[in-house]
Each structure stands twice: as C-alpha cells, then as structure tokens.
Structure 1
Amino acid sequence: MSDDQKQKFDFMGFRKIASVISITLVVASIVLLGVRGLNFGMDFTGGTSVELEYAQAPQLDEVRSTLTEAGYDQFVVQNFGADTIVLVRLNESGNDQLAPEIVSVLAKNGGDLKLIGSEFVGSQVGDELKENSGLALLIALAVVLIYVGMRFQFKFGIASVVPLAHDVIIVLGIFALFQWTFDLTVLAALLAIIGYSLNDTIVVADRIRENFRKMRVGGSWDIINESIHQTIARTINTSGTTLVVLLALYFFGGEAINKFALALIIGVVVGTYSSIYVSANLLMVMGVSREDLMVPAKEGAGEGAEEEQPPEWLDRM
C-alpha cells in the first residue's frame, strides 16, 4: 500500500468495537420492547376521533390546554384539511356523549364551533393493524434479501438485510425506552428507514464489488476500507442534507408529523452508521473474497483461451 493509503482512517480497525456497540444496542432494544413495550397510539389501540369546524381558525395550543384542564389525558389535536377544521383524537372508548362533551368543553372556552362528525375505532381493528404492520416489515426485509442476493451475491444479501433489521429494532427500542407514541406515521417512518438505509448500503456494496474486481493488491480488509473511503463523502452529504429537512419537519411541521420526523431522524443516524460498519463488518465475518464475485467462464472455452473480462456495463451496475 502507498503512504497515502496508510494515512487513511482505518474503518475496519474499529469493527470489533462497532460489533460490541451494535450487539449491545440491539439486545437492549429487544429487552426494552419485551419489558416496557411500545406505547401504541389510537391507530392500534382504538379510540374516538371528533371533527370540529370553527368560525375562525383557532390556536391549537389553546385547544390542547383546554382539553387538558378538562381532564382529558391522551389525545391528539391537529388541523384537518383547513385552518378552521380541527380533528381531535382521543384514546377513549366511544360513546354517544363523548363528541358533544368535547364540543361543550371547547365552546365554554369562547370557541365558536360546531360538530362535523365523530368516528370510533375499535380495538379489534387496532389488533389487526399490529399484525399487518409487523407482516409488512417482514415482507419488506424478505424482498430486500431476495433482491440484493440476485443483484450481487448471497453474502451481500445477508449483509444488507441484517443492518436493516438492526436499524428498525434500535428505533423501536428507543420508542419503547421513552414511551413515545407509536402510530401509523411512525410505522410509515420505519418503512422509509428501510428504504433509505438500503439505498446507502447498496452504494457501499456496489463499490466493494467493483473494487474486488479492479484492485489487484490487498485483501478483503484493504478493499473494503478503500471502498468505504470512496463513498464516505457521498454518505455524509446525503445524510446531512436529509437530516436538515427532517429537523425542519420536527421543529416546524406540527404535532401531526412530529413522531414521524423523530423516527426518521433516529433512523438516518443509525442507518448511516450501519451502512458503514454493520454491513461491511458482516462481509468480513462471512469472508467475502474475489472468488465470490468473479464472472463465471463460458462453457467450452479452451484452456489456452484468454480470460474473458466482464463487460463495462456490468461494472457500472
């Protein structure tokens, strides 16, 4: 290796430390999910949504404080289609008097409003959503495994799916730790995290495959290190610009997408780490080599025939 290469940061030199960190976080997250569980929102537990129309656009913070003073505990207040229409979602059993009670409480605070409609979501629907959401995550991971295994090689498929599961479990563990509300927006964020992290992992994997075919000097350690160095600027720039947008959504997007943005922020940070360390680390553990990525020779080629080189378009995939 040249002097310039020796001076580069040795990513793989910290792979054992990264392994300890990842295993600790995943185990801790699983324990938290088993002990504390997730704080499911109304989408999963059932509850009542009340749609109201104001004569003038109300201050949502005042609506929330009024409901809190009236003794209501778990609820979400958000605009629904227009500034004058407010949707109140409560984790309470549906009854005929709940919607009129909400109207009466808010009207006493000086609000000029009327009831548009109310809807009750039963717990049976919530249980069905839990099962379907878990199934959706498993199907997404299975499809990724098949896709990457066909596009690259089976070892790359494993090294792509495990980091995705790693990212999702850690995000769920953090939500269980702080008991943040887990609703359909957070579920959507988890699926988005899988897509984002996969894209980042594919970029690194593509460069590793390309370098295994092009670099004639150095073993797996050196090739994977060099591949990470060649993609790290792109990874940091992509993650940085994504985080800027997500932070803006978190601070200015309102309560409706607050947890969605928060889950994505955590997922982007963890996903960036996993695409560098977890994925590459697994390739090292599984012993990926040039032989795994060589293009098979055509049948009937003579022994003295010149070795066929892969076409240029294959290296660019």
Structure 2
Amino acid sequence: MSMTISGLVILLGLGSIALSGGLKYGIDFAGGTLIQLQFKTPPDIEVIRDGLKTIALGESTIQEFGSKRDILIRVQRSEEKLEAVGSKVRNSLGEKFNKEDITIERVEMVGPKVGRDLREKALLSILYAIIG
C-alpha cells in the first residue's frame, strides 16, 4: 500500500513538472552572471530593477542577500567580461542612487558547460533517490 502511494505521489510530481513547462533552472544550472552589491542604505528593489532596464542584460533576478543593504543580481547570460558587467551595473544604478554608496562585492560567472554538467548530475541524483 505504501509503495502505491509513494508511486502515485512521484507520478503526480512529475506530471506537475510537465504541466508547468518543465524545470526552471537557476544560474547554477543554466549558466550566467551573479553580481553582489552592497549599498550604504537599504535600496528599493523596484528602483534597482528600473535602473537595470537601461542596460541590456536580459532577464535578471534581484533579491536581498543577508542584510537589507546587500543585493544579489542574477543575469542569465552575458558575453561581456566580468569587470565590465559589474561596472556597467554600478554605473547604471549610479543614475538612481549615489554611485559612491554602491560597492561591488563580487561578480561571478557560471559557464553553460559547467551549468550543463551540474544539471545532469542533479537530475541523476534525483533519479537515484527516486529509484532508491
């Protein structure tokens, strides 16, 4: 009986994933750029979002990280060098905030090959966990 219920729950979960358009991979699995900024005062995320519209970074995710002054920006893919992306973001946000109040803490890139390898290993791990 418990095996039947477990199997049903697994099938429902897989069906839910299929109906919602598949898995949504984050930057770790799809590749992209991560920019961590620190502001002197807590910023408004909507103002940051508006500031980033002026530079063509594509779809980005903006969230608080740690304290309300620390912000993480995840950008899907960028062909630019890391330093250029960080400077571009800081300059763009400098129009909305005082540029001296923004510190770039780190800029990291995950390449698509690394992301693909991580994705394959994660999916295999899930499969092994389901099989038992």
1:63 CA drift (Å): 0.9
**Alpha-carbon shift at residue 38 of structure 1 (Å):** 4.5
Structure ID, larger Rg = 1
Unmatched runs of 5 consecutive residues or more in structure 2: 1-10
Q: How far is 1:85 from its partner?
A: 1.0
Q: 1:78 deviation in Å?
A: 1.0
Summarize the alignment of residues 1-317 of structure 1 with structure 2, pairs less than 5 Å apart: 26=15, 29=18, 38-93=23-78, 94-95=80-81, 96-111=83-98, 112-143=101-132
Higher strand share: 2
Q: CA RMSD in A?
A: 2.7
4+ residue runs over 2 A deviation: 36-41, 68-73
Distance 1:113 1:134 in 2: 38
Give CA deviations for 1:216-239 in whole Å, capped at 9, x if unaligned: xxxxxxxxxxxxxxxxxxxxxxxx
Q: Which of the pair is proportionally richer in helix?
A: 1
Partner of 2:3: none
CA shift for structure 1 position 114: 1.5
Greater relative contact order (Cα 8 A, min sep 6): structure 1 or 2?
2
Residue identity opposite 2:93 in structure 1: L
* Alpha-carbon distance in structure 2 between the residues aligned to 1:50 and 1:128: 22
SS of 2:68's equivalent? coil
Q: Which sections of structure 1, spanning at least 5 residues, go unmatched?
A: 1-21, 144-317
Q: Which amino acid aligns with 1:101?
A: K
Matched-pair identity in %: 28
Cα displacement (A) at 1:73: 2.4
